[in-house]
A and B are shown apart, each in its own frame.
Chain A
Amino acid sequence: MPERVVTVVPEDGLHARPASKFVEAAGEADAEITVGRVDGDQVNAVSMVSVTRLDVEPGEEVRLIAEGDGAEAALDELVRILTTPEDEL
């Protein structure tokens, strides 16, 4: 299954606006996506509750795993969101 490890850039981490954009993009993707810390559990990327609860801070690494026809495209977009400073989102 395609997966990526990425260092989170936005100032708010995976909270607030970045989390919102992330969940929105995951919801639109033609793939099942999970996200989690590299050494932690994976959670459903479409769930704002689950994503927020990870409490990922900027500078932390997360692993994204995708399954489905749109997996690669979805991962590209999610990586872009996680590596873009907040006010450019």
Chain B
Amino acid sequence: MTERRLSGTGVAPRSGAGTGVWYGPDAAVALGDPPDPDSVDAERERDRFEEAREVAREELRRARDRTAERLGESEAAVFDAHVQFLDDPQITEDVDAELDAGYPAEHAVRRAFDRVIEEFADLDGRMAERADDLRDVRDRLLRLLLDEERTDLAALPPGSVVLAERLTPSDTARLDPDRIAGFATVSGGPTSHAAIFARSLGLPAVVGVGEALRDVDDGAEVVVDGSEGTVVVDPAESTLEAAAADADVEVRRDPVATADGTPIEVAANAGTEADVRAAVEHGADGIGLFRTEFLFLDQSSPPTEDEQYDVYREALAAFPDGRVVVRTLDVGGDKPVDYLDRPESENPFLGERGVRRSLGPDADLFETQLRALLRAAGDADGGRLSVMVPLVSTVEEVDAATETLDSVAADLDADGVSNARPEFGVMVETPAAAFLAEDLLDRVDFLSVGTNDLAQYVMAAARGDERVAGLRDYRQPAVLRAIEATVAAAAGTDAWVGICGEMAGDPDLTPLLVGLGFDELSVSPPAVPQIKRAVAETTRSDARELARRALAAATKQEVTEILDASR
């Protein structure tokens, strides 16, 4: 049998192989017609309803705890809302009325919930999401009332690959990553609850596969490749072997070196406290890109110096022996912040964003952030703190940012506030920064290449525009050469060079990156074990030869062939 490949959106950079198990929550709620009201004992039905509600409440409490532990408080809050729907006076009164009218408990629940669900489902956006929550609560009650032996996600045989139309928050809370090899869904996007969950656990998953997924038979052999975003049905032996190698990656707590002894730091990118926890769990050596936007976005006012200080200190405390590279505020572009004045820009990605704002309209925010960072750097109990500024394109910007850093340090000293001068670096994201790498290195301690933006700007191909995705690819020779210009400039200096874009998280490219001369690779937390393994399997001398050949290639096709041949 030849293998079939279906594509969707991959949400965790890992593969899993196993037996497909269709999971259909809707199947459990099929009810026949209600019986004759005279044959129903209303009191007994009321007791059944109350009992189911009690068990549901307990289940939700457990789901909440589990989710809080795995994903954090804000994701767990969805279960608080479920409890409130369960206890909603309007719905329970409605259920009561249906019980009085002689409906058995399951029919009463369905009738009462469906009225509200229909009303919410007709509305837009988040009201429709509430309809999903209500369905989730309704189905939980129905399952309990019917004693349904439905597919229990928490008790699937090890090696199952869950296939579903979609997975609700309740469903994802029940997925046990130690047993389940992965999941694939017909609908759902990269920001769905299921996708967030999969990413934070490193669980192989592909969402939004579309109708084609429905043709996969229950019991079929399936490989879910979360890095490519493919579901492979009836996989060939070679595909299975590759997936198996991918699935059992051991977490290495210690730093790694190449097979011939060159140490390479493997750090993680983080944007939330949950990411920092995930980085520790997956054995990252430190944080290579700590995005600070989450502190500033989705709020009505900027975070205070103390609030920021606490966050930076916690990140440092998580890596007592490592390094935490904090990127200063990177807004503008596509990230709206309500309390910041942002003029309309015809092309925000080429407009006032990143360091351009920090040295202009957001100068106050920048100073406050640096104060918090310098104070955190002064704490002896955490790891080393590094600060880097985004979107640099001139030497003057680096000089101005350094001056601000110096003046903030002088202010703190004058106020008698304990602080220390952190390592200072810039992100190389513009062709300008790549061309100027040598001059930048005269002024900073390190460079970190952000490949997503660098590819966008080198190739003049906007991120988010799928029509030019083929251009915006780090296998493009022009992108590789911009990266090489940056790394080469650092050779023989004291500065180190890291890479923190998506390119770093692809284990197929690890030898190339090692060969180019990177000292540090920073990747999404779940990708850390794979990248560490790839580093350990790489020989520096071979990697250099590979990089030399790749850099000589004139087309993306040639680069791809060179990389494929080296695997």
Write the residues of chain A forming the contact surface with B, with a CB cutoff of 8 angstroms.
9, 11-12, 15-17, 19-21, 23-24, 27, 44, 46-50, 52-53, 55, 58, 85-87
Contacts and interface: CB of A to CB of B under 8 A. Distances in A.
Interface string B65-101: 0000000001001101100110111110000000000
B218 to A, nearest CB: 35
Contacts of B89: 44, 46-47
Contact of B88 (A11, A48, A85): A48
Given A20-B80, A87-B299, 20 more contacts: A11-B299, A15-B130, A16-B77, A16-B81, A16-B126, A20-B84, A23-B84, A24-B84, A27-B87, A44-B90, A47-B88, A48-B81, A48-B85, A49-B88, A50-B90, A52-B130, A58-B300, A85-B301, A86-B298, A87-B74
Nearest to B92: A47
B77 A49 contact: no
A47 B87 CA distance: 8
A53 B88 CA distance: 13
Given A20-B81, A49-B85, A52-B127, A87 B298 contact: yes
Nearest to A17: B77
Nearest to A9: B300
Interface of B: 74, 77-78, 80-81, 84-85, 87-91, 116, 119-120, 123, 126-127, 130, 298-301
A85 B130 contact: no
B299 A49 contact: no
6 contacts: A9-B300, A11-B299, A48-B85, A52-B127, A85-B300, A87-B299
B74 A17 contact: yes
A48 B84 contact: yes
Contacts of A16: 77-78, 81, 126
A53 B118 CA distance: 13
Contacts of A52: 120, 127, 130
A84 B298 CA distance: 12
A49 to B, nearest CB: 5
The main secondary structure of chain A at its interface with chain B is: helix
Given A47-B88, A47-B89, A49-B85, A85 B299 contact: yes
Nearest to B79: A20
Contacts of A12: 126
Given A11-B300, A20-B81, A86-B298, A49 B127 contact: no
Contacts of A19: 81
A48 B81 CA distance: 8
The main secondary structure of chain B at its interface with chain A is: helix
Given A16-B77, A17-B77, A55 B127 contact: yes
Which of A19, A20, A49, A85 has most B Cβ within 10 Å?
A: A49
Contacts of B123: 55
A15 B90 contact: no
A49 B81 contact: no
B270 to A, nearest CB: 16
A11 B298 CA distance: 6
A44 B90 CA distance: 9
B192 to A, nearest CB: 15
Contacts of A55: 123, 127
A24 B507 CA distance: 47
A88 to B, nearest CB: 8
B127 to A, nearest CB: 7
Contact of B90 (A24, A49, A87): A49
A50 B91 CA distance: 10
B299 A86 contact: yes
Nearest to A84: B300
Which of B84, B90, B299, B300 has most A Cβ within 10 Å?
A: B84
B80 A24 contact: yes
A16 B325 CA distance: 33
Contact of B91 (A20, A23, A49, A53): A49
B191 to A, nearest CB: 14
Contacts of A15: 126, 130
A65 B111 CA distance: 32
Contacts of B300: 9, 11, 58, 85
Nearest to B303: A87
A16 B76 CA distance: 11
A49 B130 CA distance: 9
Contacts of B90: 44, 47, 49-50
A50 B93 CA distance: 13
A20 B85 CA distance: 10
Contacts of B127: 52-53, 55
